Amino acid sequence: MKKQMLSLFLALALTGCAAPGPGSTSAPAESGAAPAGSKAPASASQEESGYDRREAIERPEIGAEVVIDPPYDFDPAEMVPDDFGDYFTDCDHPTQVSTYKLAEGTDIENEVTVLQGEEEGPTIYIVAGVHGDEIAGWMTGNLVKKIGIRAGTVHILSPANRWGAEADPRVRYVTEQEDLNRSFPGDPEGNMAQRVADSIYQDIQRVDPVFLFDLHEARANAENKDFLGSSLIYTDLSEMSDMYLEMLMATESGELCSERFNFYGPGPIGSINNTVTTQLGIPTITVETYRGYELERRIGDQLDIVEYVLRYYGLI
Ligand SMILES: [Zn+2]
């Protein structure tokens, strides 16, 4: 059964059937709620925080009125919610932590954190919060800065769109209507979003990771717009098909995350996902969590996915 479903996923994914057009009614997002299968027991840290990521919550129907960013238990002004500090299991390895600047001394300066494990291993790059108001994305990036990895290297840029994340109220764009995720590979002489995109793209090219994470969030239902829901977006599966499909299967069976994740591809033109995949040949997954859920749940799901990939590549 499992193998059959995996083949089905593969067939759908590789033929591009998973990518819905605007207003599509065939998006897998519509079929709804988390599987009712058995849930793994909560870890000690989850019990302490009072948050159970496996708790089933019904997904609202398409078109239903949805509260974006419903109330949550911790202060959203905190860039890192403490409750999630020890969320990863077995991630307290001695780790060298350092930082460096992108576009140092300019108006688009930002900071990258580097985790270096004691053992040799591959490098993974995490870009979180390309959209400033997608808070579970960059809060997850900030949390990952606190873990200890066994091997390899992790670069973390979070929030990548710190201007949007620091605005009050927080906004998707870098400034005005400049969408960072339509500005890649960027332009050092362009508008602010294009310059930011260029600084990020150049750094990814320099670091040359084996894998890139792009942590986002999905908007609530809206007229004439795609409903992505919680999903994993790819542009090319050839370098990572096993891992990608195993992750989808794990969300389907209830072993990973709070619900079944959808799959879509390719990333839009000008997105970091599409550009890094096609121009640099680096496998990339964009993680989207649905903003109609409570923040704790969204961060929990993002951390689940990140942990899965770090483990897959042998970093933890
Ligand atoms: Zn986004």
Any idea what the CATH number is for the domain that residue 78 is in?
3.40.630.10
Q: Which residue has the higher pLDDT, 298 or 202?
A: 202
Q: How many domains does one find in the chain? A: 1
The pLDDT tens digits of the residues spanning 281-304 come to 999 999 999 888 888 889 889 999
The residue written with tokens 């903003």 in the block is 291
180 CA distance to ligand 1 middle (Å) = 9
179 CA distance to ligand 1 middle (Å) = 9
119 CA distance to ligand 1 middle (Å) = 34
Tell whether 31 is covered by a domain. no
Confidence tier at 36 by pLDDT (50, 70, 90): very low
148 CA distance to ligand 1 middle (Å) = 27
38 CA distance to ligand 1 middle (Å) = 31
Tell whether 43 is covered by a domain. no
Q: Is the dihedral of CA 218, 221, 226, 230 positive or negative?
A: positive
Tell whether 162 is covered by a domain. yes
Sheet with 211-218, strands from edge to edge, namely: 96-102, 110-116, 151-157, 119-128, 211-218, 284-290, 231-233, 262-264
Distance CA 199, CA 197 (A): 6
Confidence tier at 22 by pLDDT (50, 70, 90): very low
Tell whether 121 is covered by a domain. yes
Average pLDDT, whole number, for the chain? 81
264 CA distance to ligand 1 middle (Å) = 14
2 CA distance to ligand 1 middle (Å) = 31
Tokens for 296, please give them: 């704790």
43 CA distance to ligand 1 middle (Å) = 30
219 CA distance to ligand 1 middle (Å) = 8
The pLDDT tens digits of the residues spanning 139-187 come to 999 999 988 999 999 999 999 999 999 888 889 999 989 999 999 999 9
Question: Going by C-beta distance under 8 Å and a sequence separation of 6 or more, which residues neighbour residue 311?
Answer: none
Of 88, 86, 79, 175, nearest in space to 135 by CA: 79
Q: Which residue has the higher pLDDT, 187 or 227?
A: 187
Of 201-215, 245-259, 283-297, highest mean pLDDT: 201-215
Using the 8-state DSSP alphabet, how is residue 108 labeled? Answer: T
3 CA distance to ligand 1 middle (Å) = 32
Does residue 198 register a pLDDT over 80? yes
* DSSP codes joined into one string, 170-212: --SSSSTT--GGGSTT--TTS-HHHHHHHHHHHHHHHH--SEE
47 CA distance to ligand 1 middle (Å) = 30
Confidence (pLDDT) at 26? 32
289 CA distance to ligand 1 middle (Å) = 10
Q: Which residue has the higher pLDDT, 51 or 29?
A: 51
Average pLDDT over residues 249-266: 92
Confidence (pLDDT) at 219? 78
Average pLDDT over residues 37-46: 37
Of the CA atoms within 13 Å of residue 79, those in its CB half-sphere come to: 14
Tell whether 108 is covered by a domain. yes
Which phi and psi (to 5°) does residue 57 adopt?
Answer: -125, 130
Of 213, 189, 171, nearest in space to 180 by CA: 171
Average pLDDT over residues 61-87: 62
249 CA distance to ligand 1 middle (Å) = 24
134 CA distance to ligand 1 middle (Å) = 6
Cβ 19 vs Cβ 264: under 8 Å = yes
Average pLDDT over residues 55-80: 60
Tell whether 29 is covered by a domain. no
Beta-sheet pairing, 284-290 with 262-264: unpaired
Does residue 15 register a pLDDT over 50? no
256 CA distance to ligand 1 middle (Å) = 22
Confidence (pLDDT) at 168? 85
Residue 156 pairs with which residues in a beta bridge? 113, 126
Does residue 120 register a pLDDT over 50? yes
**Mean pLDDT lowest for which of 49-63, 141-155, 170-184, 227-241?**
49-63
Average pLDDT over residues 94-98: 95
Tell whether 22 is covered by a domain. no
Tell whether 37 is covered by a domain. no
263 CA distance to ligand 1 middle (Å) = 15
Rounded to two decimals, what is the model's pTM? 0.81
- Over pLDDT 90: what percentage of the chain? 59
Does residue 44 register a pLDDT over 50? no
Task: Provide the b/e sequence for 186-222 (b: ≥16 CB within 10 Å).
Answer: beeeeebbbbbbbbbbebbeebebebbbbbbbbbbbe
Distance CA 210, CA 282 (A): 6
12 CA distance to ligand 1 middle (Å) = 24
Amino acid at the residue 202: Q
Ion ligand 1: protein residues whose beta carbon lies under 5 Å:
131, 134, 216
Tokens for 72, please give them: 């949550």
40 CA distance to ligand 1 middle (Å) = 29
Domain region containing 130: 62-312
The pLDDT tens digits of the residues spanning 103-114 come to 999 999 999 999
Cβ 154 vs Cβ 121: under 8 Å = no
